[in-house]
Structure 1
Amino acid sequence: MKRTISGMIGKGSIAHNERKFIAENVDAARTIRNVVLQSENVKDVYHELFDEAIERYNAKQKRKDRKIEDYYEHIRTGKQEKVFHEAIFQIGNKDDTGCLSREGQIARLALLDFAKYFQKRNPQFRVFGIYLHMDEATPHLHIDFVPYVTGSKRGPDTRVSMKQALASRGFVGKGRENTEYNQWMESEKQELAKIAERYGMIWEQKGTHREHLDVLNFKKEQREQEVAALEEQKAQLQKETAACHELAGNLHEELKQTGDELQKKKAERAQAEKEAEQAKAAADKYEKSLNKAKTIAKELQKYAGEFSKPVDEVLPEAGMLESAKSYRDKKAYPVISELKELLYGLYLKYIQIKEQLDQVVYKYDRLKNSNHTLAEQKQELLNENSVLWEENKDYRRLKRAVGEERSKYLIQNEKSREMAEKNRRKENKQSHDRDAR
């Protein structure tokens, strides 16, 4: 027997599907014959599908107004996507397949078989409601589902999208009359036709606008080939992405080491400059002391010149009637005693100044050598600093190439990996210590 097969978009009234109210076209006495194959809370489904993705998405947002607090409300109040979709399937009509007729009971069995494998055929749809109504004119099936896509590059990586969900199955829109949804619905009607045929019902396709089944199968095969090619491209991109991750990880490690080394070198350079300043100040101080010692030495030369005169110029002549004893006691001894004290004092002063001068010269030489060494170290630090700046520029270039968010993501992943590795080594050491005891 031939019967039409219908597939259409439903309003998505869960209260109607679950018979929380009775419409005029419903026979309440037959509601008990309805079949509820699946009935879940759509909000719970949203938590199941999207909570982790929303958490990852919010963690990347710097601005609070861009974060999504409740994804269900975000979609419900938005304009781009519906909270969920509903498809309605029916075999025959009220005249040839009424609910109370034998044909209606056969249609009921075919629809139940069709619903049983709907989720398996459409893994990109999260089905949460399946209702078979036998209390209206003709048996029909309501299927409520949330279409979603994973691995999204825009917004949360797992998000609601009917268009992308259908594209993952190879359904690509080609004009207003051949949309993705129309192609998918035609494919589902073909599946229902196959099942109905097993129950003796042949699909009666009325009108000339419908495409032939073989043509649709051919197009479906083409779409599957296109999807396979895209999957291959996706696998290649994933390999390249993994290689980029590895490169970024290595660069991050090198840049981290470079940054640590740069900070260390900066500290060493600052310390070296401080020591150089201190050494210069000390050198200036000792140079002043050296100049002072030179001045004293010149004074000693002056005194030495004064007392290098002949004795007859230093000692006064004796008087005509003066005795030798009187000349010795009154004139010679005082002069000689004065000379003796002066020479002794000069000798002590000479020893003291010589020791100071030796110390100043020794310290001056050491500071001079130290300054030379510090100058060489400073030049080395400047050279290393130049290299580190170049490496920092390379890091910025990589950051621009990979992207700000991607760079932060890779660095955060690397930090997490390092922390995990550190914890693992710590646990291994603790375990080893316990075993040793």
Structure 2
Amino acid sequence: MERTISIEVGKGSQAHNSRKFKASNVDAERTQNNVCYCNENIRRVYHELFDDAVKRSNDKQTRADREIDDYYKKIRTGKQEKLFHEIVVQIGNKDDTNVQGEHCELAGKILDEYYSGFIERNPQLRVFSAHLHLDEETPHLHIDFVPFMTGSKRGSDTRVTLKQALAMQGFKGGSREETEWSQWVQSEKEVLADVMKRHGVEWLQLGTKREHLSVLDYKKEQRTKEIAELESKLADKKVEFEVYQDRISNYSKGEQVIEELAKKLDTEPDYQLQDPPPLMSAKSYKTKFVEPLIKKLREVISSIMSMYYQALDSYHRLNITNRNLYRENEHLRKDNGKLAYENKKLVAQNRDYNLLRKVFGSKQIDELVTKAKEPKQSKQRDERFRKNKNYER
């Protein structure tokens, strides 16, 4: 027996997953067969994961406006990372693994065994909600998790990040096609395939060219991935930008130290030339008072000049780096905007395309597409024929 494997991004509706809300495709009589593995309050999970790290980060902050009051709210209202992620895991489809069919129980056992090792396999993905649904057309799992990394050297040492969480688990990415996410999903599919095999079910793979996606769907998916990568880069650059801002702030503090030192030279007795005592010779006065004071002043001036030139050099270098970062960020924003616009167009085109298939039928639309391609394909064949003929001559 062979079955396909599907691991897709879910909508993350907790009300749907826990069945507080029942959609029209839910068979209420079968809901009692569902399995709830966990259903925790996500706010509590955020407190558990990040409170200590946020406190450590706030304690180090020199600027009150950069302290984090509520990390959950910061992520929820921000645009850098999602609050949590959901995957929907399924084997087979409504035709070969329907909940009313003979293989429903087997599918449930396989998914249950797969989930039993999920948390251990993924220590950087804090699962807070997991449900096995057996009351829709096909048995499937909803797994919701908060991805996090530890040991970060920028900002809070423990923070939400899908990319780095998966990297900590060994999925490094490397290209647009081979991202951390795609590598991790493939790994999870292989784990599920092993579980299936133990139950006598082989993994039916539909190929590596994504034949089950329409061209528009595939393009849309690729644009979405590119946007996610750009957003991740923007987030990293923002953190880097903040680091340089802190350094410039430290330069300003250095200026303040120099000003305070100048006041000290004007007011503190150690740096004032005393009046000569009665009957003291000029030579003794020079030796006991003038020369020690000059020595102290030289040391202070040397220290000030060293601090000044170091700070000035750092300031200029940081300004140059800042400008470069700003330009790079602007380029990334423009690229992101273009991709978002293109993705929006693809979504609209895909919606229209699906509507046409629904209204006129898939078969008729496929025939029209084939006819539309024929002139172009014929032209390409003619060109190849002419090239071959010229080559033979």
Question: Which TM bucket (shorter chain)?
Answer: 0.5 to 0.7
TM-score scaled by length of structure 2: 0.59
Match of 1:172? 173
Q: Which amino acid aligns with 1:380?
A: P
Q: Partners of 2:314 and 2:37 in 1: how far apart?
A: 48
Match of 1:379? 291
Match of 2:383? none
Q: Which amino acid aligns with 2:295?
A: N
Q: Summarize the Cα distance change of 1:131–1:385 in structure 2 as closer, same or farther, 3 Å threshold.
A: same
Q: Partners of 2:79 and 2:25 in 1: how far apart?
A: 32
Query: Could you say what secondary structure the match of 1:142 adopts?
Result: strand
Q: Which amino acid aligns with 2:15?
A: A
Paired residues of 2:12 and 2:85 also in contact (CA < 8 A)? yes
Q: Summarize the Cα distance change of 1:379–1:84 in structure 2 as closer, same or farther, 3 Å threshold.
A: same
Instruction: Give a deviation string over 1:351-409, Cα, whole Å, max 9, x none.
Output: xxxxxxxxxxxxxxxx224x644421331232144235435655677778999xxxxxx
Structure 2 residue corresponding to 1:368, chosen from 267, 280, 292: 280
Instruction: Give a deviation string over 1:212-242, Cα, whole Å, max 9, x none.
Output: xxxxxxxxxxxxxxxxxxxxxxxxxxxxxxx
Paired residues of 1:131 and 1:143 also in contact (CA < 8 A)? yes
Q: Partners of 1:171 and 1:39 in 2: how far apart?
A: 30
Q: Summarize the Cα distance change of 1:396–1:48 in structure 2 as closer, same or farther, 3 Å threshold.
A: farther
Query: Could you say what secondary structure the match of 1:20 adopts?
Result: coil
Displacement, 1:62? Answer: 4.2
Instruction: Give a deviation string over 1:255-284, Cα, whole Å, max 9, x none.
Output: xxxx9xx99xx64453xx3353xx3xxx4x
Q: Partners of 1:102 and 1:401 in 2: how far apart?
A: 75
For 1:212-291, list aligned pairs within 5 A.
267-270=269-272, 273-276=273-276, 279=277, 283=278
Range moving further from structure 2, 152-161 or 113-122: 152-161
Match of 1:358? none
Paired residues of 1:196 and 1:202 also in contact (CA < 8 A)? yes
Match of 1:216? none
Displacement, 1:71? Answer: 1.2
Match of 1:249? none
Instruction: Give a deviation string over 1:162-194, Cα, whole Å, max 9, x none.
Output: 12222332331512x443322211111111101
Q: Partners of 1:104 and 1:400 in 2: how far apart?
A: 71
Match of 1:105? 105
Match of 2:337? none
Match of 1:59? 59
Percent identity, please: 48
Which runs of no fewer than 5 residues in structure 2 stay unpaired?
212-260, 316-393
Q: Which amino acid aligns with 1:381?
A: L
Q: Partners of 1:105 and 1:392 in 2: how far apart?
A: 79
Displacement, 1:42? Answer: 0.8
Match of 1:89? 89
Paired residues of 2:171 and 2:184 also in contact (CA < 8 A)? no
Q: Summarize the Cα distance change of 1:32–1:94 in structure 2 as closer, same or farther, 3 Å threshold.
A: same
Q: Summarize the Cα distance change of 1:207–1:10 in structure 2 as closer, same or farther, 3 Å threshold.
A: same
Match of 1:407? none
TM-score scaled by length of structure 1: 0.54
Paired residues of 1:171 and 1:184 also in contact (CA < 8 A)? no
Match of 1:125? 125
Q: Partners of 1:192 and 1:41 in 2: how far apart?
A: 28
Match of 2:386? none
Query: Could you say what secondary structure the match of 1:166 adopts?
Result: helix
Match of 1:362? none
Match of 2:252? none
Match of 1:410? none
CA-based RMSD of the aligned residues comes to 3.0
Paired residues of 1:269 and 1:378 also in contact (CA < 8 A)? no
Match of 1:5? 5
Instruction: Give a deviation string over 1:261-317, Cα, whole Å, max 9, x none.
Output: x99xx64453xx3353xx3xxx4xxxxxxxxxxxxxxxxxxxxxxxxxxxxxxxxxx
Q: Partners of 1:114 and 1:401 in 2: how far apart?
A: 58
Alignment: residue pair count: 261
Q: Summarize the Cα distance change of 1:160–1:207 in structure 2 as closer, same or farther, 3 Å threshold.
A: same
Q: Partners of 1:142 and 1:199 in 2: how far apart?
A: 21
Paired residues of 1:84 and 1:144 also in contact (CA < 8 A)? yes
Instruction: Give a deviation string over 1:417-437, Cα, whole Å, max 9, x none.
Output: xxxxxxxxxxxxxxxxxxxxx
Q: Which amino acid aligns with 2:19?
A: R
Query: Could you say what secondary structure the match of 1:6 adopts?
Result: strand
Q: Summarize the Cα distance change of 1:396–1:60 in structure 2 as closer, same or farther, 3 Å threshold.
A: farther
Q: Partners of 2:314 and 2:110 in 1: how far apart?
A: 53
Query: Could you say what secondary structure the match of 1:368 adopts?
Result: coil
Q: Summarize the Cα distance change of 1:208–1:72 in structure 2 as closer, same or farther, 3 Å threshold.
A: closer
Paired residues of 2:148 and 2:165 also in contact (CA < 8 A)? yes
Match of 2:333? none
Which runs of no fewer than 5 residues in structure 1 stay unpaired?
212-258, 284-366, 404-437
Paired residues of 1:126 and 1:146 also in contact (CA < 8 A)? yes
Q: Quick check: which has more Rg, 1 or 2?
A: 1
Q: Which amino acid aligns with 1:123?
A: P
Q: Partners of 1:402 and 1:113 in 2: how far apart?
A: 57
Query: Could you say what secondary structure the match of 1:48 adopts?
Result: helix
Q: Partners of 1:148 and 1:401 in 2: how far apart?
A: 37
Q: Which amino acid aligns with 1:6?
A: S
Q: Which amino acid aligns with 1:152?
A: S
Q: Partners of 2:16 and 2:27 in 1: how far apart?
A: 13
Q: Partners of 2:115 and 2:310 in 1: how far apart?
A: 52
